[in-house]
Chain A
Amino acid sequence: QVQLQESGPGLVNPSQTLSLTCTVSGGSISSGSYYWSWIRQPAGKGLEWIGRIYTSGSSNYNPSLKSRLTISLDTSKNQFSLKLTSVTAADTAVYYCARDRNYYDGQRGIGVHYFDYWGQGTLVTVSS
């Protein structure tokens, strides 16, 4: 059973960098055709996809965050990480890491991408 666990500071000063790590257990982060994603949820609001990284190290980011965002992979520690620079109060949210199961359905000619395992989430508050 794959498990994910987020860790990092719960309070970040405005204009500083938000850094979070997701530790994966129950399976190797570098095996299988999986992406590893970050998703966030402001209080009382819906889910927002932040970005993802593949086992090869290639990544995709939400265009609205791309200029401030870096997602990286540390296969030796079975972890992946998020760095978001120049944060404001609008970045206050519960941050989730998740495994992104993806494959190509040749019969329908479409990609299939969904999040099958999630961390419990960690609240990050941006405030001085």
Chain B
Amino acid sequence: DQQVKQNSPSLSVQEGRISILNCDYTNSMFDYFLWYKKYPAEGPTFLISISSIKDKNEDGRFTVFLNKSAKHLSLHIVPSQPGDSAVYFCAATSEGYGNKLVFGAGTILRVKS
């Protein structure tokens, strides 16, 4: 039972354009969401997070949007840079879930120069 789904296995974007990565969840208990970036041979690194009391959080080129009614969140990267090419994981958690992270399967982002 996949509680967090990233339905796009890969995404290819031109440098300077916007990258939009999507994530859906099914468990209504989740109230905190995080995005991680992973380069080959490295562990995932935290990128940005959002609490369910917000619908948007911005950090530089990265913005996460949360639509609670649709149980959907998205990560926007503007402008995309070649160094953004990596695997992006969406993760969800809540205190009621013991703060365990539940990850999606990831989306491979390729930014072409």
Question: Do A and B originate from a single complex?
Answer: no
Residues in chain B within 8 A of chain A (CB atoms): none
